[in-house]
Amino acid sequence: MTTLQNDTLIRALLRQPVSHTPVWLMRQAGRYLPEYRATRQRAGSFLALAKTPSLATEVTLQPLDRFALDGAILFSDILTVPDAMGLGLYFIEGEGPKFHHPVRDEAAVAALRAPDPAGELRYVTDAVSEIRRALNGRVPLIGFSGSPWTLACYMVEGGGSDDFRTVKSMLYQRPDLMHRILAVNVVAVTAYLNAQIEAGAQAVMLFDTWGGALSDAAYREFSLAPMQQILAGLKRHDSNGTRVPSIVFTKGGGGWLEAMADLGCDALGLDWTVDLGAARARVGHKVALQGNLDPTVLLSSADAVERETRRVLASFGSGDGHVFNLGHGISQFTPPEHVARLVDTVHAASARGSAYQSP
């Protein structure tokens, strides 16, 4: 594989010295870009887009052609794994993802099997390989998966939820069933991420989108513990012996930073409710930190984008181990020129040798 021309992201995730704070954005390939919308229309559906490696490659590279981002993230969906389990993923406009066959009783739980990444999920690893070739060493490629708990939320609820009453009721009433679902998901996600690494992913990320919906005890048992099992089974190096960093992001996870820092990952993603400086003091030198601008800032003015971007940089302070990102995925209503202002501000304000300026 081609040597990386810009390895700033990898170095920051490993808490090594960098020339500037690297930046990438969750959902950076998406509906806020007119070129993405055009490709999506050409594909005919979101699933067709995600399941066609050439189109997934095209949209993965679109934000890199517009902005000086320091990383690419595989264009895919966190629900590819349960879809490959046969749950029947589909999308309703304005309502998000749904499953034809939610997992809600003993028989459905007993029937769950981890999919083969080389079989039902081959289109994902093919996309990873194709994206790596297309990037040609410009920036690193990040692979990802949903966490076992977050996948379980969709699998049991049958889609998104405001209160997660179905999955949380199962958790409390039949913890044995929930542990069985999570055990299958651990096997599935570990194999899935390792397959992405084998195909060329240079960093991997676990999205624990719904961990923050749990109580403290439930989070530790049903979200944190399964993620720790995955990290213990992850490949730490690619076929050339190059280190592959791992990132864990629990939305609403600010209360568990110390426990998350002990998971065995290289970096923690933070949502916008956490002060970066305080988080840095809490986790010490165990992990790098990724985040954490409120995505809504990008819907305001260009000047506000620059001011709040500088505020995030100042919150982390000087030194290494910071990857700039949003505190969650970018909004579809974001003006692309505001993303350009954010990226340019991060690079200019964090260039080593220039002082951080408080807002």
Which residues partner with 243 through β-bridges? 237
Measured between alpha carbons, how far is 321 from 316 in angstroms, rounded to an integer? 9
Is residue 55 a contact partner of residue 357, using CB atoms and an 8 Å limit? no
27 catalytic, yes or no?
yes
Element (H, E) at 289: strand 288-293
Is residue 197 a contact partner of residue 163, using CB atoms and an 8 Å limit? no
Measured between alpha carbons, how far is 28 from 69 in angstroms, rounded to an integer? 9
Element (H, E) at 213: none
Q: Which of 32, 154, 192, 219 is catalytic?
A: 154
Residue type, 289: L
154 catalytic, yes or no?
yes
238 catalytic, yes or no?
no
Name the one residue in this structure whose structure tokens are 């009453």.
165
Angle between helices 336-350 and 302-316 (to 10 degrees): 40
Q: Which of 15, 27, 138, 310 is catalytic?
A: 27
DSSP for residue 335 = -
Q: Which of 15, 40, 280, 341 is catalytic?
A: 40
Give backbone dihedrals phi and psi of 105, rounded to 5 degrees, phi first. -140, 175
DSSP for residue 122 = H
Is residue 290 a contact partner of residue 271, using CB atoms and an 8 Å limit? no
Cis peptide before 292 (omega within 30 of 0): yes
40 catalytic, yes or no?
yes
Picking from 318, 325, 217, the residue whose alpha carbon sits closest to that of residue 268 is: 325
Is residue 248 a contact partner of residue 263, using CB atoms and an 8 Å limit? yes
133 catalytic, yes or no?
no
Is residue 228 a contact partner of residue 256, using CB atoms and an 8 Å limit? no
Enzyme catalytic residues? 27, 31, 40, 77, 154
